[in-house]
A and B are shown apart, each in its own frame.
Chain A
C-alpha cells in the first residue's frame, strides 16, 4: 500500500487521540488500517470512543499497528510517500531511506463500536456551541453524569449546559426548522469527546446511546453518558433584582490579583458592592483588597465567591460589560453579557 506522507501523518494525528496512553488490552493501543478500493481507513478506539478517517491510497493492506509508534515514525519520516507491506505477522513501513518493521495484531481482535440506529441528524458548529460552557464540566468521578456537556432541544434551539455543581454555563443556538431536533431527548456528551470536536460545521447523528460526528472523511463515534442530568433550569435564577454592571477584564484582573492573598484553605473573595464601586477583599495568609468601578445604584450587597470561579466564569464571557444579577449574599448570581445573549452563567456563592 502506498500513501502520501503528509496526508497520512495528518490523519494519524487526528485518529490517535482516541488511544489511551495506558492500555491493559494490547489491541486498544493499536490503529486498525484497512486499504482497499483506492482508500485507506484508519480507526482507533478506547471502547467508549472510536475515531476513523480515510485518505486516498494505492494498493491493499489490512492490519493493526502500534498507534504511538506508527504516528511517531510517520511524523518524522522525510520521504513524500509511505509504503506499508505485510511481512508475516509484522508490517514493514518505508519512507525515503527509513524502514521500520513493527509487530501487528490480527484485525479480528480489534473491537468495533456498533453505531446502531440514529434517530436525529443535525448540521451545526458543535465546537462553537460547546466552547463557552466546556469550562464548567465536572472532573469528579463521583458525579460522572456531570463529566460532560448536556445538550437538548428547546423551542427550536439547541441548548448546551455544563456544570460542576458550583458553576453552571448554558449556551444555545438557533436550529433551522428543517432539522428534526425534536426527535431526541437530552443527551450527555462525555468530556473526552467534547475535547476532540473538530472546529466548524459538522454533521451530528444521535441515537439513544451514541453520538456520531462527521467532519469530511473523519468520523467520531462516541458512547453517551447514560444518566439523568439534573434539572438545571431550576437553579438559573429568574428573580435576581440587583443588577451590577462591570468591565469583564477589569473585574477578572482584580479578582486574580486579590486571590494572591488566598491560601489552600480559603479562596473566598468577598465583594462589597455599593453605589458605583465593588470592593474585593481576600483574607488568607495575607489580606488583599482592590476595587472596581461598577454601574450600580441600590442598597449595599455583600457576597462571596471562590476567587478561582470568578476568574473562570469571567474568562468564559466575551470582553466588555458583564451584568451580574444577584438577590442576596446567599443566593446564586447570574452573569450575562449583551455581546453573548445566548449565554448564561450561574455561580454559587461562598460562605465568607
Chain B
C-alpha cells in the first residue's frame, strides 16, 4: 500500500483555513473546555503530524472526530456479547 502524501500548511493563512475546515468542528480541539489537540500543537511547533495527509488531493486530518456527533466511546471489553462473532 502506498504511503499517503503528508500535508502541512505552507503558511499561516493556509493553516487558519485548515483549522477552520477541520479543527473547528473536531472533538479533539475544544478551546472553551480546555481541550487542546495534540496534533495541532505539534503542527504549531513545526512538526509534521502523521494524521495530516492528502486524501483525494485534498488536505485531510485522519484523526478528525465530528464534534456535532457523540464521541464514540470505546467498547466495554468486559460486558458479555449478545451476538458473539
Binding site for B on A (CB under 8 A): 21-22, 24, 139-140, 163, 165-166, 168, 230, 235, 266-268, 305-306, 308-309, 330, 332, 346, 348-351
Contact = CB atoms under 8 A, between A and B. Distances in A.
Contact of B82 (A267, A332, A351): A332
* 10 cross-chain pairs, A with B, having the tightest CB-CB distances, nearest first: A350-B79, A306-B76, A235-B82, A348-B80, A230-B83, A166-B79, A139-B72, A24-B56, A350-B78, A351-B78
10 contacts: A21-B66, A139-B70, A139-B72, A140-B72, A166-B82, A306-B76, A309-B76, A309-B79, A350-B78, A350-B79
Contact of B73 (A235, A308, A330, A346): A308
Given A140-B72, A306-B76, A348 B21 contact: no
Nearest to B83: A230
A168 B78 CA distance: 17
Contacts of B55: 24
Contacts of B82: 163, 165-166, 168, 230, 235, 332, 346, 348
Interface residues of B, number: 20
Interface of B: 21-22, 25, 55-56, 58, 64, 66, 68, 70, 72-73, 75-76, 78-83
Which of B25, B70, B82 lies at the interface centre, i.e. has the most chain A CB atoms within 10 A of its CB? B82
B5 to A, nearest CB: 15
A21 B24 CA distance: 11
A317 B81 CA distance: 22
B83 A165 contact: yes
A267 B83 contact: no
A163 B79 CA distance: 14
Contacts of B78: 266, 268, 306, 350-351
Most buried by A among B58, B79, B80: B79
Contacts of A349: 79-80
B76 A267 contact: yes
Contacts of A305: 79
A306 B56 CA distance: 41
B79 A348 contact: yes
Most buried by B among A165, A235, A266: A165
Contacts of A332: 80, 82
**Residue of B21, B55, B80 most packed against chain A (CB within 10 A):** B80
A22 B79 CA distance: 35
A230 to B, nearest CB: 5
Given A268-B78, A308-B73, 5 more contacts: A24-B55, A139-B72, A165-B83, A235-B83, A266-B78
Nearest to B55: A24
Contacts of B68: 21
A233 to B, nearest CB: 12
Nearest to B57: A24
A77 to B, nearest CB: 23
A165 B81 contact: yes
A330 B80 contact: yes
Nearest to B84: A165
Given A21-B66, A24-B56, A24-B58, A348 B81 contact: yes
B21 to A, nearest CB: 7
A168 B83 CA distance: 11
A180 B83 CA distance: 32
Contacts of A168: 82
Contacts of A348: 79-82
Contacts of B56: 24
Q: Which of B56, B64, B78 has the most CB of A within 10 A?
A: B78
B56 to A, nearest CB: 5
A350 B72 contact: no
Task: With a 10 A CB-CB cut-off, give which of A22, A306, A349 has the most chain B CB atoms.
Answer: A22
A140 B79 contact: no
B76 A166 contact: yes
A268 B78 CA distance: 8
Contacts of B80: 330, 332, 348-351
